[in-house]
């Protein structure tokens, strides 16, 4: 491996000049912390914000992982700590300790904070689902949105206000998901949440975030169509919405990918005047062989193929893998659907850094995609 120092590499101008393909030396230096540029720097040079999802224990105590986070990212988003279910075990009880400490950590480190997520059917507190009247449910929803956006006003860069509200499989003409909030409050819960969020924190950009819109399958095409109509309706009705989040939970070798269809979808969303964020990027490898070099390359190739299209759309200005290291991934913790678990008992390897915090081919794929992206400035 070429032993080069970061200074020497940058001094050669081989990397300093913007827009150059990553020089061969950098590829070889990927394993050497010194010679490797950070993903946040590669992103920043193109006007892109690079961040990651983290959990409180990963950042609230100084560890080797905290060092990596501080080096690599310009943004963090709490993986679970700001979810309603996690914060409010009983009606009238709200635990702000971990969200407060994570926001404080980010502020102290000069890292941008992304709020996730105010209203998500999947992590709604049990007590909400037992509220006896519509009026009490509406009051509880409004209190959730207002209390969170007021408490962190001015300190949140973007808020996922409503998460994953669209599900065309549920057969509604408006494409909305038949879940708790729709059942109890009707479709109006969406606009209600965004208007209250805007009123309480006018500085935060408001985001709608969704998944299963990345691949060339009938289901994903239907979801893209429904999401686009959902966004169009919100913009038409003057609902305060600034950004759209493409989650980007990808899988090796499972579904075809159409560059044309995905590119068109992003262009259609951008055409609504929305900025776009890749909010939860990771690549599961349950269908890939167990051999690690082979598997890592297949994961890297999946990142490359997706990002070549995503980052080519200048409205996409934020890139957030759902974790930095395989050491901390919901995939490795098996918190995802069982059909996506590996059957050979090996841990998945979905993220840019391995469990020892060493960069993987996925890191190079992301670095290359950032380095080759058109500048947003
Ligand atoms: O904290 C408890 C722990 O006390 C308990 O021992 C353990 C075993 O039961 O569960 C732990 O809670 C888990 C939590 O993650 C923290 O690890 C929940 O069971 C588990 O369901 C939860 O999964 C999270 C999932 O959202 C549901 O909230 C994943 O970590 C998280 O990565 C995932 O992230 C979501 C995004 O927020 C929205 N988009 C989809 C994405 C993947 O589902």
Could you report the per-residue pLDDT of 225-238, keeping only the tens digit for each? 999 999 999 999 99
CA dihedral sign of residues 169, 172, 175, 179 = negative
Cα–Cα distance, 32 to 68 (Å, whole number): 13
- Whether the CB-CB separation of 246 and 276 falls below 8 Å is answered with yes
β-strand partners of 353: 325, 359
Res 377: pLDDT? 80
Any atom of ligand 1 within 6 Å of the Cβ of 172: no
Res 33: pLDDT? 55
Helix axes 134-151, 188-200, angle to 10 degrees: 30
Beta-carbon contacts of residue 6 (< 8 Å; ≥ 6 apart): 34, 35, 36, 37
Q: How many structural domains does the chain have?
A: 1
Any atom of ligand 1 within 6 Å of the Cβ of 34: no
Any atom of ligand 1 within 6 Å of the Cβ of 15: no
Beta-carbon contacts of residue 78 (< 8 Å; ≥ 6 apart): 53, 54, 55, 56, 98, 99, 102, 115, 116
Residue 37 forms part of a structural domain = yes
Beta-carbon contacts of residue 230 (< 8 Å; ≥ 6 apart): 165, 166, 174, 175, 176, 208
- Whether the CB-CB separation of 14 and 39 falls below 8 Å is answered with no
Could you report the per-residue pLDDT of 252-310, keeping only the tens digit for each? 999 999 999 999 999 999 999 999 999 999 999 999 999 999 999 999 999 999 999 99
| Protein residue with its CA nearest to atom 14 in ligand 1 | 80
- Whether the CB-CB separation of 149 and 201 falls below 8 Å is answered with yes
Residue 235 forms part of a structural domain = yes
Cα–Cα distance, 211 to 226 (Å, whole number): 12
β-strand partners of 159: 115, 206
Helix axes 218-236, 259-270, angle to 10 degrees: 10
Res 16: pLDDT? 38
User: Residue 300 C-alpha to ligand 1 middle, in angstroms?
Assistant: 25
Ligand 1: which of 79, 118, 160, 333 to mutate, judged by most atoms within 8 Å of the beta carbon? 79
- What is the CATH number for 135? 3.20.20.80
User: 62 in helix, strand or coil?
Assistant: coil
Cα–Cα distance, 153 to 165 (Å, whole number): 24
Residue 226 forms part of a structural domain = yes
Take residue 41 and report the two structure tokens written for it. Answer: 């720097």
Cα–Cα distance, 325 to 348 (Å, whole number): 11
Residue 224 forms part of a structural domain = yes
Any atom of ligand 1 within 6 Å of the Cβ of 214: no
Res 71: pLDDT? 97
Res 362: pLDDT? 98
Q: Which domain holds residue 48?
A: 4-372
Residue 316 forms part of a structural domain = yes
Residue 377 forms part of a structural domain = no
- Whether the CB-CB separation of 48 and 73 falls below 8 Å is answered with no
DSSP E strand boundaries for 25-151: 49-54, 75-78, 112-115, 119-120
- Whether the CB-CB separation of 152 and 189 falls below 8 Å is answered with no
Res 24: pLDDT? 52
Cα–Cα distance, 233 to 164 (Å, whole number): 16
- Nearest CA-CA partner of 359 in 369, 371, 349: 349
Give the residues of the chain that fall short of pLDDT 70.
1-34
Residue 301 CB neighbour total at 10 angstroms: 16
DSSP state of 21: P
- Nearest CA-CA partner of 2 in 38, 20, 26: 26
| Protein residue with its CA nearest to atom 23 in ligand 1 | 335
Compute the radius of gyration of the chain from its Cα atoms.
21
Res 18: pLDDT? 36
Ligand 1: which of 87, 335, 336, 339 to mutate, judged by most atoms within 8 Å of the beta carbon? 335
């Amino acid at each position: 491996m070429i032993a080069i120092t970061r200074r020497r590499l940058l001094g050669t101008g081989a990397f300093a000049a913007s827009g150059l393909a990553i020089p061969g030396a950098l590829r070889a230096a990927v394993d050497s912390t010194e010679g490797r540029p950070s993903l946040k720097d590669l992103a920043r040079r193109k006007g892109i914000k690079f961040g990651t999802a983290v959990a409180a224990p990963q950042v609230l105590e100084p560890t080797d992982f905290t060092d990596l986070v501080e080096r690599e990212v310009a943004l963090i988003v709490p993986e679970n700590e700001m979810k309603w279910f996690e914060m409010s075990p009983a009606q009238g009880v709200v635990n702000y300790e971990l969200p407060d400490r994570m926001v404080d950590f980010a502020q102290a480190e000069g890292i941008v904070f992304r709020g996730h997520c105010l209203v998500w059917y999947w992590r709604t507190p049990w007590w909400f689902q037992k509220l006896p009247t519509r009026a009490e449910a509406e009051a509880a929803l409004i209190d959730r949105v207002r209390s969170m956006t007021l408490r962190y006003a001015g300190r949140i860069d973007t808020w996922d206000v409503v998460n994953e509200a669209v599900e065309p499989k549920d057969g509604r003409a408006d494409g909305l998901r038949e879940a708790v909030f729709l059942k109890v409050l009707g479709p109006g819960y969406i606009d209600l949440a965004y208007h209250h969020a805007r009123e309480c924190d006018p500085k935060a950009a408001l985001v709608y975030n969704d998944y299963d819109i990345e691949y060339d399958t009938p289901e994903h095409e239907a979801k893209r169509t429904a999401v686009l109509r959902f966004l169009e309706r919100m913009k038409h009705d003057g609902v305060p919405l600034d950004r759209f989040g493409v989650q980007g939970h990808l899988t090796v070798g499972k579904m075809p990918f159409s560059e044309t269809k995905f590119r068109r979808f992003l262009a259609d969303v951008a055409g609504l005047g929305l900025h776009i964020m890749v909010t939860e990027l990771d690549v599961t490898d349950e269908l890939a062989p167990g051999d690690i070099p082979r598997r890592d390359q297949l994961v890297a190739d999946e990142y490359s193929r997706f990002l070549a299209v995503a980052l080519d759309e200048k409205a996409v200005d934020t890139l957030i893998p759902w974790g930095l290291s395989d050491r901390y991934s919901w995939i490795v913790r098996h918190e995802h659907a069982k059909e996506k678990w590996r059957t050979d008992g090996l841990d998945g390897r979905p993220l840019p850094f391995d469990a020892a915090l060493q960069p993987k081919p996925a890191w190079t794929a992301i670095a290359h995609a950032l380095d080759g992206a058109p500048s947003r400035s």
